[in-house]
């Protein structure tokens, strides 16, 4: 069985540290989400895992071998741009990829895509294009699958169907790494690794990660002067609908700064608020 | 007065882009339009602001309506400040008023420190915030934003939402499209679209309460009416009868929209 193991990965571009001392693994059968704001180092990490970029320090292993020595055919990758040929039909895209990998193309009938076989990829809806890209990435039966925001732009039912296929691939033994920054996608992963400024700061199920944080809710009005004082104390003050949300301070701190506890309460953080709490 | 559409239909040749879509929102409310690519979200936004010819139905919008298309409409070669000044000039806002308003908008969006940066040098989050700031500059009563948070990371998304909520608190009505159901839950009113038709609409609570049948949680797929959610499966029972091997579950907005999509697939 072949999993992904990143040990002590660092990548520097000149003076810029993109990734620092990052270690994490994806076991066969596991779907792991890589989460982080733009610039947190997700893309650099994915490129090192794909073997496209050499780490400054550290090592990526696929199974028991360094990624550089591994046959590329163990890997499947769906980039955000999907990597399909828009001018070719669905069948031609599959045929082309299959020949490149030296395998037989998968049956479109079995995949429920037979009626689209002769349609040009550029004429398909985004949901269908995503399905085709996924079929192409999986056609050579890779044991490592890397997906960049795999269900972005797809409606709820289409998204659920794509995730079924992703989990099915994992259950058949693939190690799946998903890069995303949406709650809808993160909650489909067995585990998430959170990156902030090139480092992994937390790992667990998305619920576990979010549950570690609370946000102060404020139902009463606040004037600009008090907002300024909350910000000075290190809080992120957000306008809610209705009321306010204050990240980074306890209810007691907020009450003290406002000189009153009227309308102040603590509630679980949202996915985005947990990110803010981690990033500041 | 409420704004929105009454059973509006829009067709491009023989293709029906919107079919009898109604959405109703009051000042200070946020309406979320949710659906995948091609569901009709952009067409609905454009219809509400009067950019589409309607085949049937009616649109209600206030004289002061502003629209931010999916590409934020920020001029790449102008600075943040110049973008705002240019729009203020277009609306012929009195100079003193526009100076004060621009200063306030730069402050609340957190763009004050980037005022001299060119549009092309902004991050995605900053560009979207500037786009919305340009749209609220003229103090419209209705603001229509097409996928303002697509491509934004969680921190930028939250900052943009804080700004959007502030606009609603100021009494503006907002119609916003998104592809994400968790984001749609922020709306007072939600319209879920699929292929130009309404799958579900109303408040989040009323949509959830209106789900026909019952929902169950299971550890494996139990057929065509099952879908993957989080660490397990959801199964929908149309007639509400118990499912062997599954336990009753509370549906959320995503579950109910999926049920509506399944129903529309079979009808």
pLDDT-derived band at B236, boundaries 50, 70, 90: very high
Question: What average pLDDT does this structure show over B171-185?
Answer: 94
Determine contact, residues A158/A129, Cβ cutoff 8 Å.
no
Question: What average pLDDT does this structure show over B157-170?
Answer: 92
Give the residues across from A136 on adjacent strands. Answer: none
Q: In what order do the strands lie in the sheet with B214-218?
A: B226-229, B232-237, B214-218, B247-248
Which of A271-280, B50-59, B64-73 is predicted most confidently? B50-59
- Per the CB < 8 Å rule, is B163 touching A239? yes
For A272, which of B37, B157, B257 is closest by C-beta distance? B157
Tokens of A220: 């009463």
What is the C-alpha to C-alpha distance for residues B129 and B139, in angstroms, rounded to an integer?
Answer: 16
For B154, which of A190, A239, A272 is closest by C-beta distance? A272
C-alpha B2: how far from its chain's center? 17
* Cα torsion A256, A261, A267, A273: sign: negative
Tokens of B261: 């999509």
pLDDT-derived band at B73, boundaries 50, 70, 90: confident
Chain A neighbors of B162, CB-CB under 8 A = 238-240
pLDDT-derived band at B141, boundaries 50, 70, 90: very high
Reduced to 3 states (helix: H, G, I; strand: E, B; else coil), residue B244 is coil
- Per the CB < 8 Å rule, is B227 touching A154? no
- Per the CB < 8 Å rule, is A157 touching B30? no
Report the share of chain A in percent with pLDDT over 70: 100
Tokens of B200: 């579900």
Q: Which pLDDT belongs to residue B38?
A: 85
In this model, does residue B154 exceed pLDDT 80? yes
- Per the CB < 8 Å rule, is A164 touching B169? no
Determine contact, residues B36/B179, Cβ cutoff 8 Å.
yes
Chain A neighbors of B168, CB-CB under 8 A = 241
A218 touches chain B (CB under 8 A): no
Return the residue of A nearest to B162 by Cα: A239
Hey, of B27, B36, B174, B184, which one would you mutate to test binding to chain A, going by the most A CBs within 10 A of its CB?
Answer: B36
Which of A73, A60, A81 has the alpha carbon at shortest distance from A144? A73
* Cα torsion A112, A117, A123, A129: sign: positive
Q: Which pLDDT belongs to residue A107?
A: 87
What is the C-alpha to C-alpha distance for residues A248 and A238, in angstroms, rounded to an integer?
Answer: 11
A159 touches chain B (CB under 8 A): yes
- Per the CB < 8 Å rule, is A156 touching B168? no
Phi, psi for residue B245 in degrees, rounded to 5? 80, 10
For A125, which of B34, B38, B265 is closest by C-beta distance? B38
Distance linking the first and last C-alpha atoms of chain A: 39
Hey, of A36, A41, A123, A160, which one would you mutate to test binding to chain B, going by the most B CBs within 10 A of its CB?
Answer: A160
Q: How many Cβ pairs within 8 Å bridge chains A and B?
A: 114
A81 touches chain B (CB under 8 A): no
CA distances from B209 to A259, B109, B203, B204 (A): 41, 37, 10, 9
- Per the CB < 8 Å rule, is B158 touching A273? yes
Task: Determine how β-strand B56-60 pairs with β-strand B30-34.
Answer: unpaired
What is the C-alpha to C-alpha distance for residues B67 and A254, in angstroms, rounded to an integer?
Answer: 37
What is the C-alpha to C-alpha distance for residues B164 and B71, in angstroms, rounded to an integer?
Answer: 17
Return the residue of B nearest to A127 by Cα: B37
Q: Which pLDDT belongs to residue A1?
A: 60
CA distance B11 to chain A (A): 18
Q: Quote the pTM value.
A: 0.91
Structure confidence by residue, pLDDT tens digits, B204-231: 999 999 999 999 999 999 988 999 988 8
Which of B24, B7, B53, B41 has the alpha carbon at shortest distance from B142? B24
Q: What ipTM did this prediction achieve?
A: 0.87
Question: What average pLDDT does this structure show over B52-65?
Answer: 96
Reduced to 3 states (helix: H, G, I; strand: E, B; else coil), residue B35 is coil
Return the residue of B nearest to A184 by Cα: B182
Determine contact, residues B52/B166, Cβ cutoff 8 Å.
no
* Cα torsion A90, A31, B230, A245: sign: negative
What is the C-alpha to C-alpha distance for residues B76 and B90, in angstroms, rounded to an integer?
Answer: 18
Which of A211, A143, A136 has the alpha carbon at shortest distance from A177? A143
What is the C-alpha to C-alpha distance for residues A227 and A237, in angstroms, rounded to an integer?
Answer: 7
Q: What is the DSSP-derived secondary structure letter of residue B114? A: G
* Low-confidence spans in chain A with pLDDT less than 70: 1
Report the share of chain B in percent with pLDDT over 70: 100
CA distance B88 to chain A (A): 25
Give the residues across from B228 on adjacent strands. Answer: B233
For A160, which of B30, B258, B265 is closest by C-beta distance? B258
Q: Which pLDDT belongs to residue B133?
A: 92
Reduced to 3 states (helix: H, G, I; strand: E, B; else coil), residue B261 is helix
- Per the CB < 8 Å rule, is A154 touching B158? no
Chain B neighbors of A167, CB-CB under 8 A = 228
- Per the CB < 8 Å rule, is B169 touching A239? yes
């Amino acid at each position: 069985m072949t999993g992904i193991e990143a040990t002590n990965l660092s990548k520097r571009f000149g003076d810029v540290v993109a990734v620092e001392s990052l270690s994490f693994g994806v076991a066969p059968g596991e779907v792991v989400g890589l989460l982080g704001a733009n610039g947190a180092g997700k893309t650099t990490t994915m490129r090192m895992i794909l073997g496209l970029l050499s780490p400054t320090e550290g090592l990526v292993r696929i199974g028991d071998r360094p990624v550089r020595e591994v046959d590329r055919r163990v890997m499947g990758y769906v980039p955000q741009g999907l990597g399909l040929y828009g001018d070719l039909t669905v069948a031609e895209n599959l045929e082309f990829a299959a020949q490149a990998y030296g395998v037989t193309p998968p049956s479109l009938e079995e995949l429920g895509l037979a009626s689209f076989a002769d349609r040009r990829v550029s004429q398909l809806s985004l949901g269908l294009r995503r399905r085709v890209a996924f079929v192409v990435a999986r056609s050579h039966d890779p044991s490592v699958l890397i997906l960049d925001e795999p269900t972005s732009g797809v409606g709820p039912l289409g998204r659920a169907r794509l995730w079924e296929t992703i989990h099915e691939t994992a259950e058949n033994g693939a190690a799946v790494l998903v890069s995303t920054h949406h709650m809808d996608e993160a909650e489909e992963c067995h585990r998430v690794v959170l990156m902030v400024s090139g480092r992994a700061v937390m790992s667990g199920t998305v619920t576990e990660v979010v549950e570690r944080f609370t946000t102060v809710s404020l139902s009463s009005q606040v004037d600009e002067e008090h907002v300024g004082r909350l910000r000075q104390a290190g809080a992120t003050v957000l306008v809610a609908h209705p009321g306010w949300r204050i990240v980074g301070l306890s209810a007691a701190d907020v009450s003290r700064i406002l000189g009153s506890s009227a309308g102040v309460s603590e509630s679980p953080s949202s996915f985005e608020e947990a990110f803010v709490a981690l990033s500041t | 007065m409420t704004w929105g559409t009454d059973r509006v239909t829009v067709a491009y040749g023989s293709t029906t882009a919107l079919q009898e879509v109604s959405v109703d929102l009051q000042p200070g409310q946020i309406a979320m339009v949710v659906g995948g690519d091609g569901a009709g979200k952009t067409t609905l936004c454009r219809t509400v602001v009067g950019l589409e010819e309607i085949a049937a139905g009616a649109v209600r919008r206030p004289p002061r309506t502003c629209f931010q298309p999916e590409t934020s409409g920020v001029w790449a070669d102008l600075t943040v400040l110049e973008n705002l000044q240019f729009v203020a000039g277009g609306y012929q806002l009195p100079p003193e008023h526009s100076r004060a308003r621009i200063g306030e908008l730069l402050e609340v969006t957190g763009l004050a420190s980037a005022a001299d940066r060119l549009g092309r040098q902004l991050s995605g989050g900053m560009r979207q915030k500037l786009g919305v700031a340009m749209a609220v500059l003229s103090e419209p009563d209705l603001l229509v934003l097409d996928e303002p948070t697509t491509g934004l990371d969680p921190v930028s998304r939250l900052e943009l939402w804080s700004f959007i909520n502030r606009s609603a608190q100021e009494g503006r009505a907002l119609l916003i499209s998104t592809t994400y159901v968790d984001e749609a839950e922020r709306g007072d009113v939600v319209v879920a679209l699929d292929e130009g038709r309404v799958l579900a609409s109303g408040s989040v609570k009323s949509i959830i309460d209106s789900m026909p049948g019952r929902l169950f949680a299971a550890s494996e797929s139990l057929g065509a009416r099952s879908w993957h959610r989080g660490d397990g499966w959801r199964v929908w029972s149309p007639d509400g009868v118990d499912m062997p091997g599954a336990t009753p579950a509370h549906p959320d907005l995503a579950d109910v929209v999926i049920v509506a999509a399944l129903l529309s697939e079979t009808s």
